[in-house]
């Protein structure tokens, strides 16, 4: 039985930035505000609302079995931003296909935001699944013939760097979780990439810090496909001798000049990826690159 999934990420809805705390003035959030307000980062996402409307229309026209969201709903992880993002994405709209979401680094922009769990509250309907004890991450959900496995690779890190980590404790839970899952291809969903678009390890300030142990854990878990976000330009890496499964980046759904998401058609172990690209004159998405790969 074939299965259709839709993968998008890095929506970074602008606006809704009021509500930040005075104590954040001395935190990384201030740097973010400067970036958004003064360096024009927000400007790149100024059409996000309209583009997400077009994406939802695309979803309703040809509904997939599930929506995969690989994080970065917000810019600064403010409570108002989470509420706005969840509403615009239709997180509680039962007429849309079920969603499956993991947080991005922007959704944990400060230690306070990470601890407060704003992402997890706003996206709770998209985070249902099987867990190990009462730990939030990882979690797994069966959709048709496959298992979706959500891993959190984001944390409020050091200084103003943008590296990610999964952590040894979560990787150990991933092993436990996978050991209890039934047969079927396993799709890992993270925010951080395993490699860059050329298949290289990213620079230290941006990489998934524990990429070596994460790859080993993914192999042990029998991962058939790893999908992620964070890099706003989309790409797909076919399986290699070093990495036995395809690794696919959604790109940003809403960043100007990049606007895209992926549709995955999975039939047995054959994956057909169709990139959907936003066309501003028609305010609609159209087919872009099409790739066929084998799941591990
Ligand atoms: Fe992002
Ligand atoms: Fe990110």
Q: What is the pLDDT of residue 98?
A: 98
User: If one looks up domain 3-294 in CATH, what number appears?
Assistant: 3.60.21.10
Q: What is the pLDDT of residue 161?
A: 63
Q: What is the pLDDT of residue 156?
A: 79
User: Which is it for strands 186-189 and 146-150: parallel, antiparallel or unpaired?
Assistant: parallel
CA–centroid distance for 67 within its chain: 10
Segment holding 178, helix H or strand E: helix 168-179
182 alpha carbon – ligand 1 mean position (Å): 33
**Proximal ligand: closest to the CA of 106:** 2
Between the CA atoms of 88, 89, 90 and 96, what dihedral angle is there, to the nearest 10 degrees?
A: 140
268 alpha carbon – ligand 1 mean position (Å): 32
Q: What is the pLDDT of residue 13?
A: 94
For residue 135, give the DSSP letter. -
Residue 170 backbone dihedrals phi, psi, to 5 degrees: -70, -35
72 alpha carbon – ligand 1 mean position (Å): 5
Q: What is the pLDDT of residue 157?
A: 65
Q: What is the pLDDT of residue 91?
A: 98
- Give the total residue count for the chain: 296
Q: What is the pLDDT of residue 21?
A: 64
Q: What is the pLDDT of residue 33?
A: 72
Give which of 132, 148, 229 is closest to 186, Cα–Cα.
Answer: 148
Q: What angle is formed at CA 263 by the lines to CA 84 and CA 274, rounded to 5 degrees?
A: 135
Question: Which residues line ion ligand 1, judged by CB < 5 Å?
Answer: 10, 72
251 alpha carbon – ligand 1 mean position (Å): 8
248 alpha carbon – ligand 2 mean position (Å): 15
pTM of the model: 0.95
Instruction: Give residue limits of the domains in the chain.
Output: 3-294
162 alpha carbon – ligand 2 mean position (Å): 8
Q: What is the pLDDT of residue 16?
A: 65
Query: pLDDT of the chain along its 296 residues, tens only?
Result: 899 999 999 999 987 666 666 666 567 667 777 777 656 778 899 999 999 999 999 999 999 999 999 999 999 898 889 999 999 999 999 999 999 999 999 999 888 888 899 999 999 999 999 999 999 999 999 999 999 999 999 987 655 568 999 999 999 999 999 999 999 999 999 999 999 999 999 998 889 999 999 999 999 999 999 999 999 999 999 999 999 999 999 999 999 999 999 999 999 999 999 999 999 999 999 999 999 999 99
């Amino acid at each position: 039985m074939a299965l259709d999934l839709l993968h998008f990420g890095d929506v970074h809805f602008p606006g809704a930035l009021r509500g930040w705390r005075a104590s954040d003035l001395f935190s990384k959030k201030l740097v973010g505000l400067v970036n958004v307000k003064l360096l024009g980062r927000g400007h790149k996402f100024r059409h996000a609302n309209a583009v997400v409307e077009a994406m939802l229309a695309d979803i309703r026209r040809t509904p997939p079995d599930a929506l995969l969201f690989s994080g970065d709903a917000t810019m600064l992880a403010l409570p108002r931003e989470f509420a706005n993002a969840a509403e615009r994405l239709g997180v509680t709209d039962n007429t849309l296909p079920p969603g499956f979401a993991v947080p991005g680094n922007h959704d944990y922009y400060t230690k306070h935001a990470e601890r407060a769990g704003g992402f997890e509250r706003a996206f709770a309907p998209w985070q249902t699944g099987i867990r190990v004890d009462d730990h939030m991450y990882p979690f797994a959900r069966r959709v048709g013939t496959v298992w979706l496995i959500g891993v959190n690779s984001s944390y409020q890190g050091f200084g103003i760097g943008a590296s990610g980590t999964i952590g040894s404790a979560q990787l150990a839970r991933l092993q436990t979780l996978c050991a209890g899952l039934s047969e079927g291809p396993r799709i890992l969903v993270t925010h951080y990439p395993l490699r860059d678009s050329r298949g290289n390890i990213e620079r230290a300030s941006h990489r998934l810090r524990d990429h070596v142990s994460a790859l080993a854990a993914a192999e042990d878990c029998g991962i058939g496909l790893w999908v992620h976000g964070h890099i706003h330009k989309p790409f797909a890496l076919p399986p290699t001798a070093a990495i036995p499964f395809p690794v696919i980046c959604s790109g940003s759904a809403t960043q100007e000049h990049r606007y895209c998401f992926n549709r995955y058609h999975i039939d047995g172990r054959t994956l057909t990826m169709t990139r959907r690209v936003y066309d501003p004159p028609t305010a609609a998405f159209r087919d872009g690159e099409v790739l066929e790969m084998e799941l591990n």
